[in-house]
Amino acid sequence: MNKKTSLELIRACKDMISGGLVAGTWGNASIRVADGMIVTPSGMPYDSLNVSDIVLLDMSGRVKLGFRSPSTESPLHLEIYRNRPDVHAIMHTHSIYACALAVSRINLPVILEEQAQLVGGKVPVTDYAPAGSQELARAASQTLGEGGAVLLANHGLVGVGKDIKEALLVCQIAEKACHVYIMSQSVGTPFCLDDKDVFSLRQAFSKGYGQNIKE
C-alpha cells in the first residue's frame, strides 16, 4: 500500500470533518489504486487515523491489506469505480443542506457557476435504499451516471473526482449549492443555468482555468 496515497486520503478526511461535512465517524472516502481501492475503516474517528488503519480492497471487495474492517459503504465505492473508469476518488458526506434536499427527495438544479464548472451539472437524488446495501450501491452508481455528485435519499451526498482533492471539493461545492438553493427560495425564485451555459462553463473551466506554466 502506498504511504503517500494513504496520507492523502487521511488528510482529505480530516478536511472533510473540520469543514463540517460530517459529524462523528459517519461518511467515508476512497482512492482508486492499481490493484483495487484504499478506503477508510468503519467507525473510526478521522482525527486519529493512521496509515495502518487504511484498508486495501480488490475490485471484488476482498480485503488485500489491512487489519481494520473497511467502511460499510465499500460496495457503493466499488460499484462506482466499476462503472466510471474516469473516477479515481470518491467521498461520501452527511452535510446539512445536502441532507435537507436528500430527505425531501429534491434534485439540486444547476444554480451556481462553480457547480457547473466542477460538478458538471445537476445533482440528482436516488430512491431510498438502506445504508451499506448492494441496492444502495447500484442506485448511487446508476443515478450518478456521468455526473460529479449524487444525493442519497434520506442519507447524504457522494462526490467523485480525478483525485481525492477534487472529490472533496465537489462535496464542498455541492453543499454550498444546496445551501444557496434552499436560502434563495426564502427571498424569491432561484433561476437555473441552462444546458448551453452549463456546457460552456464546464468547457472553459476544464481547458482554461488555473495556471498553465511552461518550462
Instruction: Return the active site residues.
Output: 73
Radius of gyration in angstroms for the set of CA atoms belonging to the chain, rounded to a whole number: 17
Cβ–Cβ under 8 Å, residues 179 and 111: no
In terms of Cα–Cα distance, which of 45, 3, 8, 1 is closest to 161? 8
C-alpha cell of residue 18: 473540520
Q: Across the strands, what pairs with 94?
A: none
C-alpha cell of residue 38: 484504499
Q: Which residue has the cell 472553459?
A: 204
Rounded distance between C-alpha atoms, residue 136 and residue 140, angstroms = 6
3-state secondary structure of 39: strand
Rounded distance between C-alpha atoms, residue 46 and residue 118, angstroms = 26
Taking the CA of residue 33 as centre, how many other CA atoms within 13 Å lie in the half-sphere pointing to its CB? Answer: 22
Rounded distance between C-alpha atoms, residue 168 and residue 40, angstroms = 14
- Tell me the CA end-to-end span of the chain in Å, nearest whole number: 33
